[in-house]
Structure 1
Amino acid sequence: MSDLFQIIYRSRPFGFDETSLAGILLDARRCNTRDAITGALVCRHDIFVQLLEGPEANVRAAFQRIERDDRHVNVVQLVGEAVSERLFGDWAMLHDPAESEIWSEAEMADGAAERATPEEVRAMFAALRVAQGEGRMDA
């Protein structure tokens, strides 16, 4: 049986700017490579939505680090489950600037993130994977 586990969460950025985002991506890619975790981060000044996948203990530990990270506020786990395969197996951490696969700012203001079902969030990441193609985008 596979030990492959996936967590998807959302949070609000605290002090979001390009320098902060670059630091988050650098940390994520370094730690994820070390811990055999792959995934994607969709971000904008008003929201982070991230998918982490890999060995269950490693994914849970990464999520606990994120919950303690002061660059995130209001961290909410949306999905936490065993999976049979990775969605972002080629990416230590894909970065998407939230231009097409996430709720608009108006939808966010109307509570879309709070109403999203696990199925809708998974579908968002599946669409992101298709949009990115098979190439690596973690550099």
Structure 2
Amino acid sequence: MSGLKHLLYTSVAKKELEQHELEGLLAQSRANNAQADVTGLLLYRNGCFMQVLEGPESKVDTLYASISADTRHKNVFLLYESAISERDFAQWSMAFNGNESEKVEGLSDFLHPFRSQDEKRISEGAIKQLLKRFRQINKR
């Protein structure tokens, strides 16, 4: 059996998604991930996705290949991947951040205070801080 890994990627939706489309994507992702023993985090804002996948290495790699081939988005870019000893999102089949303030299970306002000024290479430390911040917000 392979060890655990996590992977972080970004992509751009081919069209801005409505709240009901995001909720459908979330439900589909949660079901697929639960079946594959993959957990993670899905962030969506203004047509852009950022996702962390974590789980058995072979399952994460297979899921990422499928996501990369999905025609609903473009510009899939792998930011980071690494072996891990434990999951950061073990309690979620998929956490979620959308555009609306409607209460959806797993919904967070994680991205709302952030505004991107420059494209910068993300270091492992920055990614760990991102994950830590998300966990802290969702414990409230």
In percent, how many aligned pairs have the same letter? 29
Which one-letter code corresponds to 1:129 in the other structure?
Answer: R
Distance of 2:118 and 2:112 partners within structure 1: 13
Q: Mark the runs of 5 or more structure 2 residues left unpaired by the alignment.
A: 99-107
Please give the TM-score of this superposition, normalised by the length of structure 1.
Answer: 0.81
Q: CA RMSD in A?
A: 2.3
Q: 1:78 to 1:118 in 2, by over 3 A?
A: farther
* Stretches of 4+ aligned residues off by more than 6 angstroms: none
Residue matched to 2:56? 55
- The TM-score with structure 2 as length reference comes to 0.81
Q: Which runs of 5+ in 1 are unaligned?
A: 135-139
Q: Does structure 1 conserve the Cα–Cα contact (< 8 Å) formed by 2:4 and 2:56?
A: yes
Structure 2 residue aligned with 1:111, among 108, 118, 124?
A: 118
CA contact (8 A) 1:2 1:84 kept: no
Normalized per residue, the structure richer in helix is: 1
Partner of 2:27: 26
Match of 1:124 in 2: 130
List per-residue Cα deviations over 1:9-32 (Å, max 9, x = no partner): 111122122233123212211110
CA distance in 2, matches of 1:85, 1:39: 12
Q: Within the alignment, does 1:5 sit opposite 2:5 as a pair? A: yes
How many pairs does the alignment contain?
130
2:118 aligned partner, one-letter code: G
In the alignment, the residues of structure 2 paired with residue 4 and residue 75 of structure 1 have an alpha-carbon distance, to the nearest angstrom, of 22
Question: Structure 1: which amino acid aligns with 2:56?
Answer: P
Whether 2:106 is the aligned partner of 1:99: answer no
